């Protein structure tokens, strides 16, 4: 593993990233454990991890420790696409007759959005100043695409569905097994309720 060319490791990392995107749920592949193999793997995997990062209103403050120090400067240079999702609180539906409450909700939403944008662009400005101070990035060689989205914040987690009990499923007998005097039922699942 230590003797593989960096180009081969980069191909492996991109394949791992593609595999990670296809898998969803608890069995999803995580790239972070590959960072600990050795220094070369760390550089290659970080390139894949930081190429496209997604943050939202709640996770934006977590970027500061991740992107601090000299390692942070290197990671900032790796970012090609930054996806930021502004999280809005769910608000109750109001009718147009409740105009003052509608205006207050809009004012609060605007204030929250402004604060989120100030925080985001504060981070971006700080990154620009750090990269300019290090003089290691020539003008025009680094680009970042910023995508802005809007989502609703869930106030509480949705509880998972309980597992179904297979013993509650009643399968009708096949036509060959049913008695002659019983009419045939339509195919499909039939559920019996337990008392």
Q: Average pLDDT for residues 154-177, to the nearest whole number? A: 52
Q: What is the mean pLDDT of the chain?
A: 70
CB atoms within 10 A of CB 94: 13
Q: Where are the domains of the chain?
A: 6-90+98-153
Q: Is 80 exceeded by the pLDDT of residue 58?
A: yes
Better-scored residue on pLDDT, 63 or 93: 63
pLDDT digits (tens, 9 = 90+) for 131-164: 766 555 544 455 667 766 666 666 555 455 555 4
Better-scored residue on pLDDT, 132 or 180: 132
- Alpha-carbon distances of 116 from 38, 56, 144, 150, rounded to whole Å: 37, 9, 19, 12
Band of pLDDT at residue 115, cut at 50, 70 and 90: confident
How much is the pLDDT for 133? 62
Q: Average pLDDT for residues 103-111, to the nearest whole number? A: 83
How much is the pLDDT for 130? 75
Q: Tell me which range, 21-35, 36-50, 113-127, is most confidently predicted by mean pLDDT.
A: 113-127
Better-scored residue on pLDDT, 168 or 58: 58
């Amino acid at each position: 593993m230590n003797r593989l060319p960096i180009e081969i490791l980069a191909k492996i990392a991109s394949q791992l990233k593609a595999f990670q995107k296809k898998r969803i749920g608890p069995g999803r592949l995580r790239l972070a454990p590959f960072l600990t193999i050795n220094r070369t793997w760390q550089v290659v995997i970080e390139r894949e991890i930081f190429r496209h990062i997604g943050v939202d209103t709640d996770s934006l403050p977590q970027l500061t420790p991740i992107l601090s120090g000299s390692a942070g400067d290197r990671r900032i240079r790796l970012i090609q696409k930054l996806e930021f999702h502004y999280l809005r609180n769910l608000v109750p539906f109001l009718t147009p007759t409740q105009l003052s409450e509608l205006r207050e909700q809009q004012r609060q939403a605007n204030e929250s959005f402004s604060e989120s944008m100030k925080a985001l662009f504060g981070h971006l400005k700080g990154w620009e100043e750090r990269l300019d101070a290090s003089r290691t990035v020539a003008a025009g060689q680094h680009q970042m695409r910023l995508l802005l989205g809007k989502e609703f914040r869930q106030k509480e987690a949705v509880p998972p569905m309980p597992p179904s009990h297979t013993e509650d499923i009643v399968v009708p007998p096949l036509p060959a097994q049913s008695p002659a005097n019983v009419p045939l039922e339509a195919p499909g699942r039939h559920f019996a309720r337990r008392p």
